[in-house]
Amino acid sequence: MKLRTKPLAALVSGLFVGALWSSSGAFAATVSATAQDLGATAPTQTQTVSIVLQLRNVDHLTDFIAATVNPNSNRYHQFLSVDDFARHYAPTDADIGRVTAALNQLGIQVNEVYKNHMIIRATGTTAQLNQFFNTEVHNYKENTTLYSKPNRKVSIPDSVADVVLTVTGLDTKPKAHPMSRNLAKATGGALSINANSVKLLNGVTTANAPGLFTVADVASLYNINPLYEHHILGQGRAVGIATLATFTPSDAYTYWQSVGLKVSPNKIVQVHVDGGAGTNGSGETTLDVEQSGGLAPASKVFVYDAPNTDAGFIDVFFKAASDNIVDTLSTSWGEPEIAQDSDVLAGQHQAFLELAAQGITMFAAAGDEGAYDINDNQGPYAYPGCSQLLSVDSPASDPFVVAAGGLTLAGVQTFPNASITVPKDRPWAWDYLQNYIETYYGSAVYYADVFPVGGGGGVSVNYPLPRYQKYISGTQVSAANQSLICQSPTGPQDLVDLPAGYVGRNVPDLSLNADPDTGYALYVGGAWQYGWGGTSFVAPQLNGITALLSQFSGTRLGHLNPQLYALLQQYGYSHNSPFRAITSGDNEYWQATHSYNPASGIGALDVTNLARTLSGWGY
């Protein structure tokens, strides 16, 4: 089955008007076609679902968000409360009542309505839910994973179709994955880099060697220390982590204590969404908390964890928005944009709009598969079994999210057989290791374990170029001749063709060090681990940094992207700019340039300059 993509219509309103069609949902269905159907789920089995409701007045909402980050507007920094958001933009009490009554008619019970009026949690039997959504839920087995999902696309009853966007929770397949990497783990121990075997060449003095970096070294690399010296430590601020795995808080407290940070014994607050997450991926949550909370040591850290399901990956954002406690929020989980179900994209987008309207800045890891997000070498579409396909990660591709990209720091890396020099900070992509790996370990190791690892970046084919990127030099359009062709027992299958020349949202927005070879120490499971990296470090780092900026500014910062690109136009890469240009290297395809580029985004940060320039821009 061959699918052609159709970009989502309008930046916002097209997501919520009538029935949305996008190839992403169809492509997701094609992926699941490889699973073994075990038959219909027992009709008496109880299931709990999340009914995602539709926003009202979306065009007005996007205009309002733009005004809150425009210093020339009388709405500048006039963010909404949850009650105000619900009153102006969410379904009304009467709408909620209509949906509740329709559910109750079939015996489906409403358990909870989120304060923001965007999510209804309801429980019923499989038979009741099948009838309400005109579908049939089946059980499936895919490799060793057991899950349930509808055997055909759900439909919303006409009586509430004007209020309900979609239902999630019937599909329980885990899809999102964390964005962290380790060279030794990636190559099964065949290739590793030892501690103290990398010498930096970028002129920055750090307390620890690359591969052993802590948050103290991040502060040195990106000029955060002057803020600390002025007692900007995140006091009065709350950092949020949206994750799909639980963790052990004592690991984070041990990490902070070990690096010399004094934190409150009640710094961490765990919020379990939809019953809470499992433990698969707990290391990801641990590093998110350690990095964000360590860079803003006086802040509180609220950890929202949800199951790794479509419902969990929407509800976790809406719950944080509905609570409206955190000032910043990040996630280090994602999946390829083209494989994401279109209803999930739309539901998450609504949550990001609410977060922006309430002043909460949202970050997401841009991915660890370089320019080829779908070709994860641990996934079903790895090269060379499938063709290389330029693609980006979701939710980082959403225009109301700051996409966190990755860099490799300049340095000399010493391996067992040779040394490799990276002369300048560059986009992270392990193509700089290709000659070495192929010479000493063979091409098979490189393509099986290393390609296409790197910082995610490219052009969205679902979201058009947002206004804040329209006049920025260096943005790109989608490349030509992009098809995902995979080998199968019956021959090559053309699964999806992407549009050429689409003027889409460019990612990432900002990049920091993410290469495991110049990476980080992590304390998890009661022990230290070294040589970790990934854009999953960058997203929580930007999260913690923004908590500092929020304290410095005396207010939440809201939708950060328009402000970042305005500052780029104002300051460029001058000596007092908050940005450092990344001018050489690539992310397996897109080239770094002395401008915005889809390999490194705007570039790296000088955090103290960013605090000063934001202040000068009206803060």
Strand partners, 36: 141
Which entry of 217, 288, 310, 588 is annotated as an active-site residue?
A: 288
Whether the CB-CB separation of 592 and 209 falls below 8 Å is answered with: no
Query: In the chain, what percentage of residues exceed pLDDT 70?
Result: 92
Closest Cα to residue 604, out of 425, 476, 444? 425
Encode 481-499: b = buried (16+ Cβ within 10 Å), e = exposed: ebebebeeeeeeeebbbbb
**Three-state SS annotation for 2-26:** CEECCCCCCCCHHHCCCCCCCHHHH
Whether the CB-CB separation of 430 and 451 falls below 8 Å is answered with: yes
* 3-state secondary structure (DSSP) of residue 112: strand
Q: Which residue has the tokens 């900070």?
A: 425
Question: Within 10 Å of residue 288's Cβ, how many Cβ atoms?
Answer: 33
Cα–Cα distance, 336 to 392 (Å, whole number): 6
Which entry of 330, 478, 536, 600 is annotated as an active-site residue?
A: 536
Give pLDDT tens digits for 282-321: 999 999 999 999 999 999 999 999 999 999 999 999 999 9
Across the chain, what does the average pLDDT equal? 92
Q: Which two tokens stand for residue 564?
A: 């970042």
Give pLDDT tens digits for 256-279: 999 999 999 999 999 999 999 999
State in Å, rounded, how far the first CA of the chain is from the last one. 53
CATH class of 177-616: alpha beta
Give pLDDT tens digits for 206-244: 999 999 999 999 999 999 999 999 999 999 999 999 999
Encode 373-391: b = buried (16+ Cβ within 10 Å), e = exposed: bbbbbeeebbbeebbbbbb
Closest Cα to residue 174, out of 152, 143, 153? 143
Q: Which two tokens stand for residue 45?
A: 């089995």
* 3-state secondary structure (DSSP) of residue 86: helix
The tally of CA atoms less than 13 A away on the side-chain side of residue 486 is 16
Reply yes or no on whether 284 is catalytic: yes
Cα–Cα distance, 78 to 71 (Å, whole number): 11
Residue 39's alpha-carbon distances to 36, 123, 138, 150, 618, in angstroms, are: 9, 22, 5, 11, 60
Q: Which two tokens stand for residue 582?
A: 């990344």
Whether the CB-CB separation of 251 and 524 falls below 8 Å is answered with: yes
**pLDDT-based confidence at residue 14 (cuts at 50, 70, 90):** very low
| pLDDT for 19 beyond 60 | no
| pLDDT for 461 beyond 60 | yes
Reply yes or no on whether 536 is catalytic: yes
Instruction: Transcribe 423-489 into DSSP letters.
Output: -S-EE-BGGGGHHHHHHHT-HHHIIIIITT-B---EEEEEEEPPGGGTT-TT---PPSS-EEEE--T
Reply yes or no on whether 148 is catalytic: no
Cα–Cα distance, 79 to 91 (Å, whole number): 19
Q: Output the pLDDT for position 416.
A: 87
Query: In the chain, what percentage of residues exceed pLDDT 90?
Result: 85
Domain ranges of the chain: 177-616
Strand partners, 263: none
Residue 33 CB burial class (10 angstroms; 0-12, 13-18, ≥19)? exposed
Residue 373: in which H helix or E strand, if any? none
| pLDDT for 27 beyond 60 | no
- 109 φ/ψ angles, rounded to the nearest 5 degrees: -100, 135
Give pLDDT tens digits for 580-612: 999 999 999 999 999 999 999 999 999 999 999
Q: Output the pLDDT for position 180.
A: 79
What would you measure as the largest C-alpha separation in the chain, in angstroms?
A: 71
Average pLDDT over residues 479-497: 95
Give pLDDT tens digits for 363-400: 999 999 999 999 998 889 999 999 999 999 999 999 99
Give the dihedral sign, CA 362/366/368/369: positive
The secondary structure of residue 212, as a DSSP letter, is S
Whether the CB-CB separation of 413 and 422 falls below 8 Å is answered with: yes
Residue 199: in which H helix or E strand, if any? strand 198-200
Pairing verdict, β 402-408 and 361-365: parallel
Cα–Cα distance, 285 to 305 (Å, whole number): 9
Cα–Cα distance, 517 to 183 (Å, whole number): 7
Residue 376's alpha-carbon distances to 170, 311, 363, 367, 449, in angstroms, are: 26, 24, 21, 10, 10
* 596, amino acid identity: Y
* 3-state secondary structure (DSSP) of residue 353: helix
Cα–Cα distance, 150 to 170 (Å, whole number): 7
**Three-state SS annotation for 222-274:** CCCHHHHHCCCCCCCCEEEEEECCCCCHHHHHHHHHHCCCCCCCCCEEEEECC
* 3-state secondary structure (DSSP) of residue 164: strand
| pLDDT for 17 beyond 80 | no
Give pLDDT tens digits for 152-194: 999 999 999 999 999 999 999 999 888 878 877 766 666 666 6
Displacement of CA 160 from its chain's centroid (Å): 31
Encode 448-479: b = buried (16+ Cβ within 10 Å), e = exposed: bbbbbbbbbbbbbbbbbbbebbeeeebbbebb
**pLDDT-based confidence at residue 617 (cuts at 50, 70, 90):** very low
Which entry of 284, 315, 376, 517 is annotated as an active-site residue?
A: 284
Whether the CB-CB separation of 374 and 23 falls below 8 Å is answered with: no
Residues 6+ apart with CB under 8 A from 584: 423, 424, 426, 592
Residues 6+ apart with CB under 8 A from 60: 88, 89
Whether the CB-CB separation of 336 and 393 falls below 8 Å is answered with: yes
Question: Within 10 Å of residue 84's Cβ, how many Cβ atoms?
Answer: 13
Average pLDDT over residues 2-21: 33
